[in-house]
Chain A
Amino acid sequence: MIVLDRVSKSYRTLEGHKRVLCDVSVVIPPGCSLGVLGANGAGKSTLIRLLAGTEHPDAGRITRSAANVSFPLGFSDTLHPKLSGRENVVFLARIYGLSELETIGFVESFAELGTYFRMPVGTYSSGMRARLAFGISLAIQFDVYLIDEVTSVGDERFRTKCLDAFRQRMDRADVIMVTHDFETMRAYCNIGAVLRDGALTLFDDLEAAIEDHARAMRQNPAMYAMEPI
């Protein structure tokens, strides 16, 4: 269960404070997978980072009561460029208290890096880095997976493999997802939330959330219109 208790977050920009979340209180119960909707720049990625704990709210609390929340799926920034792929895997296995050998075995066969697995990550292409990051994300059984725009990695076959592995993980986990691909969102999420003007509205039904969001985007546009620069 993830609880957001009166959470506020804003950024200082050149035009002044940009409010992303304003006094948001929601409960995401276990067993629910959430698709987050909102226009570009509404703060969906910030919400994901707040949930991951890599950023902290200005006010309020986020409680992840005992839920092991993932880092954003396929996020390769945490890989150390000087360490080999294998050493990076060992590090993550260690911090998450997993069997090192098993994790190495899984990622090595999953990421298909061949001999590069023992080479520094700095020598990898971006595709290889992404494959390694996906392998690591999927090697760990989290309770809640955070997904921020799954960019398609590799070829069709690798994507299918990713989805299969992810589906297995999903039997015992939930997902909080931001994506422009509604097909994927419908496949994985059963509840939806709309982020708009700093408010996060939860819907029991994903379709209802999508409908509400689309309606709001079309209706009364002047309400959301920005002043011309």
Chain B
Amino acid sequence: MIDAAALAREAVATARAHPHDAPVAIHAAMALFHVGDIPQSLHYARMATSLDPASSSALRVLSGILNAAGERSEAIAVALEAVRIAPAGAELRLHLGGLLAAESRWKEAAEHLSTHAVSAAPTAHGWHLLSAVLRQLGRTERATAAAREAVRTDPEMIEYRLHLASLLSCRALHSLALHEVRLAQALDHENPTVWTMLSSLHAALGDLPQALLAAEKAAALAGDTPAALAQLAYVAGLCRVPMPDGNPKVWLDVPVRATKPRPAPRRPTFTEDLATRWQVIFAIMLRDIRTRFGHTRLGYFWAIMEPITHLMTLGVIFYVLNHGTAPVGDNLFLFYITGLVPFLMFSHVSHDIMSAGEANNAMLHLPIVKRTDVMIAHALRQFGTEAWVGIVIFSVAGLLGERGVPADPLKAMLAIICIWLLAVGVGAVNLVIIAMFPSYDIVFGAVLRLLYVASGIYYSPIAMPDWARDALSYNPILQGTEFFRIGFFPQYDPHWVDVSYLLTWIGASIGIGFALERAMRHRMVVYS
């Protein structure tokens, strides 16, 4: 220090002796800067630049001193001027880049620092600074490359390694980052920052015990600084272990809950169980009616009107197009309707039950609600809706002087129930299949359209050749619609209707459907 002071005095004396020599003035400024006399050194640096305005080294010295004096914007202006004079100055670029970075002018800083980096002798500090600036610009990949260069140039610097590690973990390359931190650890085993970083990397890699150990070590080394404690609290939270030196009060007033033996509640009887199921199903039906048909009083009315208009339109169109006589009964329109009503019962109910299995059906999150409850609720609600549609439409027919009441109401009702049960069974099977293969929805839609023409809605199997009739009679829905017509029209008793065949279908589909639902229950995840 004494030497430096002596040198400074000597330099000042020389500068006074040669007031027009710029290099001497620069020397004096630097010597004064070294002894910490900023105002004086600033004076000589300014003198040097005014003596030789084209000297980049004078400008460089002035800029450095200005920065030390806290005049950063002026320092930048001077450094920019120096770079303009000597664009190849690597050190100059580094200096300017550092100043710009300190001013958060990242883009310009990056420009000058990259020039420094590609120069003949880039410094580790330069690479490090460039990396930091690139990170600020969001270019983490390039920043990582620069950080790696910094580490390569100066492998002993812990800070550079940690910076590289943090960049790597930014890009989720946690194990590479861990490698770097381990190398940093080898340099200094007692560095709390290294341990904190090690802890967060272990946590990111899912190695919680290691993370906990590292966090505790960091806290011990850092003497419980907020950063180390925050990391420890975070890892302790992940590990679900209490903080070692948490609130001591917690340990003191622990309200001990004694085991209170309670008699295990009685297992509900079968009837109680049934009552609970009905409670749930009924509640779901009411909620569905509310949510599906809106809040208006006419909501449910529209739910019925919609299929009625559908039926009316179809019936009228075919009635107008086709002037032939009805195959059964004496009104073609009525013939169509007697086919459409049972068919729509099938297609609507089977489709509606499928929707009971939709993964987002939030009701299934309630432990008391079983998927079968939702299925049954959907089936019952849809039965109600379709029954109303049928009643309204046939009443209208009756009012118009046509046959509105079935010839054999019991048989017609039975047919409708058969169709409904078949729809429930098929819907249950579909529900499971769709849970396994979501694209099945499209397949079943196609099958329904095929069934639409194969179920004897717009024609009667009477008019068919024997082979076609034989083939069609395998369709259980055709069996159902024909069964309904038997009940509806007097003296209609076709020989191809086989009720036991229909019942077999019903039994098999319901049995398979609900058994599948039970078997696959655990695979049908309810997403949260």
A contact set with B: CB distance below 8 Å = 1, 29-33, 37-41, 49, 52-58, 65-71, 75, 77-80, 82-83, 87, 91-92, 94-97, 143, 172, 180, 182-183, 186-191, 210, 213-214, 216-221, 224-226, 228-229
User: Which partner residue on chain B sits nearest A9 by CB separation?
Assistant: B522
Q: Which A residues are CB-close (under 8 A) to B290?
A: 83, 87
Q: Report the Cα distance A106→B363, complex, angstroms.
A: 22
Q: Which A residues are CB-close (under 8 A) to B363?
A: 78
Q: Which B residues are CB-close (under 8 A) to A97?
A: 275-276, 279
**Among the interface residues B210, B238, B260, which one has the most CB atoms of the partner chain A within 10 A?**
B260
Q: Could you tell me the distance in whole angstroms from the C-beta of B373 to the nearest C-beta in chain A? A: 9
Q: B365, A40: Cβ atoms under 8 Å?
A: no
With A39-B240, A41-B206, A94-B282: A78-B362 Cβ-Cβ less than 8 Å = yes
Q: A183, B250: Cβ atoms under 8 Å?
A: yes
User: Which partner residue on chain B sits nearest A67 by CB separation?
Assistant: B265
Given A70-B367, A221-B212, A226-B206, output 12 extra A-B contacts at Cβ < 8 Å.
A33-B257, A52-B365, A55-B525, A87-B287, A95-B368, A180-B237, A182-B250, A187-B257, A189-B257, A219-B209, A221-B209, A224-B208
Q: Which A residues are CB-close (under 8 A) to B528?
A: 49, 54, 77
Q: Report the Cα distance A180→B233, complex, angstroms.
A: 11
Q: Report the Cα distance A228→B207, complex, angstroms.
A: 9
Contact among A33, A39, A52, A225 with B238 in the assembled complex (CB-CB below 8 Å): A39
Q: Could you mark each residue 266-300 of chain B with 1 if its beta carbon is under 8 Å from any beta carbon of chain A, else 0?
A: 11100000011001101110110011000000000
Q: Could you mark each residue 484-528 of chain B with 1 if its beta carbon is under 8 Å from any beta carbon of chain A, else 0?
A: 000000000000000000000000000000000000011001101
Q: A78, B365: Cβ atoms under 8 Å?
A: yes
Q: B238, A40: Cβ atoms under 8 Å?
A: yes
B contact set with A: CB distance below 8 Å = 174-175, 178, 205-210, 212-213, 237-242, 246-247, 250, 254-268, 275-276, 279-280, 282-284, 286-287, 290-291, 362-369, 521-522, 525-526, 528
With A67-B265, A213-B240, A217-B239: A58-B291 Cβ-Cβ less than 8 Å = no
Q: Which B residues are CB-close (under 8 A) to A188?
A: 257
User: Which partner residue on chain B sits nearest A45 by CB separation?
Assistant: B528
Q: Which B residues are CB-close (under 8 A) to A221?
A: 207, 209-210, 212-213
User: Which partner residue on chain B sits nearest A194 by CB separation?
Assistant: B240
With A31-B261, A95-B366, A214-B242: A226-B207 Cβ-Cβ less than 8 Å = yes
Chain A to chain B contacts (Cβ below 8 Å), 22 pairs: A30-B261, A30-B262, A31-B260, A32-B259, A40-B238, A66-B268, A70-B367, A77-B365, A80-B362, A91-B283, A94-B283, A95-B369, A96-B279, A180-B237, A182-B242, A213-B240, A213-B241, A216-B209, A218-B212, A219-B209, A228-B175, A229-B175
Q: Which B residues are CB-close (under 8 A) to A54?
A: 364-365, 367, 526, 528
User: Which partner residue on chain B sits nearest A1 by CB separation?
Assistant: B264
Q: B207, A225: Cβ atoms under 8 Å?
A: yes
Top 10 closest A-B pairs, CB basis? A56-B522, A221-B209, A94-B283, A228-B175, A53-B367, A214-B241, A66-B265, A40-B238, A95-B283, A190-B257
Q: Report the Cα distance A69→B239, complex, angstroms.
A: 27
Q: B267, A65: Cβ atoms under 8 Å?
A: yes
Q: Which B residues are CB-close (under 8 A) to A220?
A: 209
Q: A217, B241: Cβ atoms under 8 Å?
A: yes
Q: A225, B209: Cβ atoms under 8 Å?
A: yes
Inter-chain CB contacts under 8 Å: number? 155
Q: Report the Cα distance A225→B214, complex, angstroms.
A: 14
Q: Report the Cα distance A228→B259, complex, angstroms.
A: 44
User: Which partner residue on chain B sits nearest A98 by CB separation?
Assistant: B279
Q: Report the Cα distance A39→B174, complex, angstroms.
A: 20
Say what secondary structure dominates the interface of chain A. loop
Q: Report the Cα distance A96→B291, complex, angstroms.
A: 20
Contact among A38, A87, A182, A190 with B259 in the assembled complex (CB-CB below 8 Å): A190
Q: Report the Cα distance A56→B524, complex, angstroms.
A: 9
User: Which partner residue on chain A sits nearest B212 by CB separation?
Assistant: A217
Q: Which A residues are CB-close (under 8 A) to B262?
A: 30-31, 172
Q: Report the Cα distance A188→B241, complex, angstroms.
A: 17
Q: Could you tell me the distance in whole angstroms from the C-beta of B89 to the nearest C-beta in chain A? A: 44
Q: Report the Cα distance A71→B209, complex, angstroms.
A: 32
Contact among B247, B256, B287, B367 with A83 in the assembled complex (CB-CB below 8 Å): B287
Q: B364, A39: Cβ atoms under 8 Å?
A: no
Q: Which B residues are CB-close (under 8 A) to A82?
A: 291
Q: Report the Cα distance A218→B174, complex, angstroms.
A: 22
Q: Could you tell me the distance in whole angstroms from the C-beta of A218 to the nearest C-beta in chain B? A: 6
Q: Report the Cα distance A217→B254, complex, angstroms.
A: 24
Q: Report the Cα distance A190→B313, complex, angstroms.
A: 68
Q: Which B residues are CB-close (under 8 A) to A183?
A: 247, 250
Q: Which A residues are CB-close (under 8 A) to B213?
A: 218, 221
Q: Which B residues are CB-close (under 8 A) to A49?
A: 528
With A87-B290, A213-B240, A229-B175: A224-B205 Cβ-Cβ less than 8 Å = no
Q: Report the Cα distance A143→B261, complex, angstroms.
A: 13
**Among the interface residues A83, A183, A220, which one has the most CB atoms of the partner chain B within 10 A?**
A183
Q: B287, A91: Cβ atoms under 8 Å?
A: yes
Q: Which B residues are CB-close (under 8 A) to A225?
A: 207, 209-210
User: Which partner residue on chain B sits nearest A38 by CB separation?
Assistant: B240
Q: Report the Cα distance A96→B275, complex, angstroms.
A: 11
Q: B175, A180: Cβ atoms under 8 Å?
A: no
Q: Report the Cα distance A30→B369, complex, angstroms.
A: 23
User: Which partner residue on chain B sits nearest A171 by CB separation?
Assistant: B260
With A95-B283, A186-B250: A66-B521 Cβ-Cβ less than 8 Å = no
Q: B174, A229: Cβ atoms under 8 Å?
A: yes
Q: Could you tell me the distance in whole angstroms from the C-beta of A10 to the nearest C-beta in chain B? A: 11
Q: Report the Cα distance A91→B286, complex, angstroms.
A: 8
With A54-B364, A80-B362: A30-B264 Cβ-Cβ less than 8 Å = yes
Q: Report the Cα distance A211→B246, complex, angstroms.
A: 15
Q: Which B residues are CB-close (under 8 A) to A53?
A: 367
Q: Report the Cα distance A67→B263, complex, angstroms.
A: 11
Q: Report the Cα distance A229→B205, complex, angstroms.
A: 8
Q: Report the Cα distance A8→B364, complex, angstroms.
A: 21
Q: Report the Cα distance A79→B209, complex, angstroms.
A: 39
User: Which partner residue on chain A sits nearest B361 by CB separation?
Assistant: A78
Q: Which B residues are CB-close (under 8 A) to A31?
A: 259-262
Q: Report the Cα distance A186→B521, complex, angstroms.
A: 36
**Among the interface residues B175, B207, B265, B367, which one has the most CB atoms of the partner chain A within 10 A?**
B367
Q: Could you tell me the distance in whole angstroms from the C-beta of B526 to the nearest C-beta in chain A? A: 5
Contact among A39, A191, A226, A229 with B239 in the assembled complex (CB-CB below 8 Å): A39
Q: Which A residues are CB-close (under 8 A) to B240?
A: 37-40, 180, 213
With A37-B240, A40-B208: A94-B175 Cβ-Cβ less than 8 Å = no
Q: Report the Cα distance A15→B423, complex, angstroms.
A: 41
